């Protein structure tokens, strides 16, 4: 019996998402009194794999198979299912990012294991096994009982955080048997978004809405995000208008994020927008309308014109950085 965590790498390196998954897995394993097994798929150097040891990984299975070079949801499901079965995993944990959302439901059917999707805490109880998850687009949370002996969980990004627990992991190279005919996905073109911090990974996000008035006014907002080491985001109308790229659209129909700090500038705070950001730890709102609903979700607010407030904020951050 074990807790199996699937960690994702990008061209051989891990991001915060994987460290968070391992942190979660280690704590869950502890709660269940079972060992943690960490699975990595792809070519990842030992030095990189060892980084997972900082968050509690003590046993890492490294799997590189030509059939898993292209991401095909059936092939990945088959591979993870084989490892889960071999390790007698009673819980399999994935991220609820694009890959996790693609694989976890398939895995659930393949292993006849109940799925807890987008969970944000350790289980509320382990017998019965009850998880805590987002429901009604962030307007509520549900306590969901998973009734099967094996369970699949997908962890909401940035919900658990990193828990350091350093140690040296053992690394085993493993293999699975996958018929290459199972791989049905062919990729003809890859567009990479290089260098930029992924919005879903960012701890600080500065986001603009229609109150920014025009695509030409974004300078100080971007500068503020850069100074704070954060990412930029926007409301749906802003990306619909083409003022900002689609990747930045947050909300029910865009990205769902949970940074430590979300600064909403010129955003009214429609429920569909809040659906994507309400799990942020602290929300700051800057808006000319003191009655804007965003102030109900915000912990700090400034009633004022973004064009005037943003440059002053930039100056204030610079001043503090100089000290």
Ligand X SMILES: Cc1cc2nc3c(=O)[nH]c(=O)nc-3n(C[C@H](O)[C@H](O)[C@H](O)COP(=O)(O)OP(=O)(O)OC[C@H]3O[C@@H](n4cnc5c(N)ncnc54)[C@H](O)[C@@H]3O)c2cc1C
- Which of 37, 38, 93, 134: binder of another protein (CB under 8 A)? 134
The site partner of 138 among ligand X, another protein, none (C-beta below 5 to 8 Å per kind) is another protein
Q: Decide: 287 and 266 in contact? Cβ < 8 Å.
A: yes
- Tell me the pairing of strands 140-146 and 282-287: unpaired
Beta bridge partners of 216: none
The site partner of 209 among another protein, ligand X, none (C-beta below 5 to 8 Å per kind) is ligand X
- Which of 61, 266, 278, 298: binder of ligand X (CB under 6 A)? 266
Shortest separation between residue 269's beta carbon and ligand X, angstroms:
7
Question: What's CA 275's distance to the chain center, in Å?
Answer: 15
Considering the rule CB under 6 A, would residue 62 count as an interface residue with ligand X? no
Q: Decide: 19 and 162 in contact? Cβ < 8 Å.
A: yes
**Residue 194, Cβ neighbours under 10 Å: how many?**
5
Q: One symbol per residue from 10 to 39: x for binding another protein (CB under 8 A), - otherwise; what is it?
A: x------x----------------------
Please give the Cα distance from 11 to 83 (Å, whole number).
22
Shortest separation between residue 172's beta carbon and another protein, angstroms:
26
Q: Look at the chain and count its residues.
A: 323
- Which of 21, 38, 228, 277: binder of another protein (CB under 8 A)? 228
Q: One symbol per residue from 183 to 222: x for binding ligand X (CB under 6 A), - otherwise; what is it?
A: --------------------------xxx-----------
Considering the rule CB under 8 A, would residue 118 count as an interface residue with another protein? yes
Considering the rule CB under 8 A, would residue 190 count as an interface residue with another protein? yes
The site partner of 53 among another protein, ligand X, none (C-beta below 5 to 8 Å per kind) is none
Coil, strand or helix at 283: strand
Shortest separation between residue 320's beta carbon and another protein, angstroms:
6
- Tell me the pairing of strands 129-135 and 140-146: antiparallel
Please give the Cα distance from 138 to 141 (Å, whole number).
7
Q: Decide: 264 and 212 in contact? Cβ < 8 Å.
A: no
Considering the rule CB under 6 A, would residue 259 count as an interface residue with ligand X? no
Phi, psi (rounded to 5 degrees) for 207: -130, 140
Residues from 116 through 175 that contact ligand X (CB under 6 A): none
Please give the Cα distance from 104 to 85 (Å, whole number).
15
Cα R_g (the chain), whole angstroms: 21
- Which of 57, 153, 261, 267: binder of another protein (CB under 8 A)? 261
- Which of 254, 266, 269, 276: binder of another protein (CB under 8 A)? 254
Shortest separation between residue 59's beta carbon and another protein, angstroms:
25
Please give the Cα distance from 130 to 162 (Å, whole number).
22
Shortest separation between residue 303's beta carbon and another protein, angstroms:
6
Shortest separation between residue 5's beta carbon and another protein, angstroms:
17
- Which of 85, 143, 170, 215: binder of another protein (CB under 8 A)? 143
Q: One symbol per residue from 219 to 258: x for binding ligand X (CB under 6 A), - otherwise; what is it?
A: ----------------xxxx------------xxxx----
Residues 6+ positions from 194 with CB-CB distance below 8 Å: none
Residue carrying the six token digits 């828990």: 163
| Range 249-283 burial, b when 16+ CB lie within 10 A, else e | bbbeebbbbbbebbbbbbbbbbeebbbbbbbbeeb
Q: Decide: 252 and 275 in contact? Cβ < 8 Å.
A: yes
Please give the Cα distance from 131 to 115 (Å, whole number).
10
Residues from 293 through 312 that contact another protein (CB under 8 A): 295-305, 308-309, 312
Considering the rule CB under 8 A, would residue 97 count as an interface residue with another protein? yes
* Interface ranges with ligand X (CB under 6 A): 209-211, 235-238, 251-254, 266-268, 270, 272-273, 276, 286-289, 292, 305-307
């Amino acid at each position: 019996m074990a807790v199996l965590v699937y960690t994702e790498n990008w061209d051989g390196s891990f991001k915060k998402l994987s460290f968070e998954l391992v942190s979660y897995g280690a704590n869950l394993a502890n709660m269940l009194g079972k060992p943690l097994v960490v699975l990595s798929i792809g070519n990842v150097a030992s030095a990189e794999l060892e980084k997972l040891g900082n968050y509690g990984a003590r046993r890492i299975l490294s799997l590189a198979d030509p059939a898993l070079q292209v991401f095909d949801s059936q092939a990945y499901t088959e591979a993870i299912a084989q490892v889960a079965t071999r390790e007698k995993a009673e819980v399999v944990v994935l991220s609820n990012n694009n890959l996790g959302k693609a694989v976890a439901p398939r895995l659930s059917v393949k292993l006849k294991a109940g799925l807890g999707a987008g969970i944000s805490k350790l289980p509320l109880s382990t017998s019965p096994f009850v998880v805590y998850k987002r429901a009604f687009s962030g307007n509520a949370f549900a306590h969901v009982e998973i009734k099967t002996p094996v369970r699949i969980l997908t962890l909401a990004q940035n919900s658990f955080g990193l828990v350091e627990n350093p140690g040296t992991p053992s690394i085993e190279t493993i293999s699975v048997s996958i018929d290459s005919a199972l791989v049905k996905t062919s990729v003809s073109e890859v567009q990479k978004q290089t260098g930029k911090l992924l919005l879903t990974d960012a701890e600080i996000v500065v986001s603009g809405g229609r109150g920014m008035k025009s695509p030409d006014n974004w300078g100080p907002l971007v500068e503020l995000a850069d100074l704070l080491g954060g990412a930029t985001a926007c409301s749906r109308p802003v990306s619909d208008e083409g003022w900002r790229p689609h990747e930045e659209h947050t909300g029910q129909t865009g990205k769902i994020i949970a940074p430590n700090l979300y600064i909403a500038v010129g955003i009214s705070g429609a429920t569909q927008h809040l659906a994507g950001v309400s799990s942020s730890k602290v929300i700051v709102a800057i808006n000319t309308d003191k009655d804007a609903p965003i102030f109900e979700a915000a912990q700090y607010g400034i009633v004022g014109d973004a064009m005037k407030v943003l440059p002053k904020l930039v100056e204030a951050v610079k001043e503090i950085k100089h000290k």
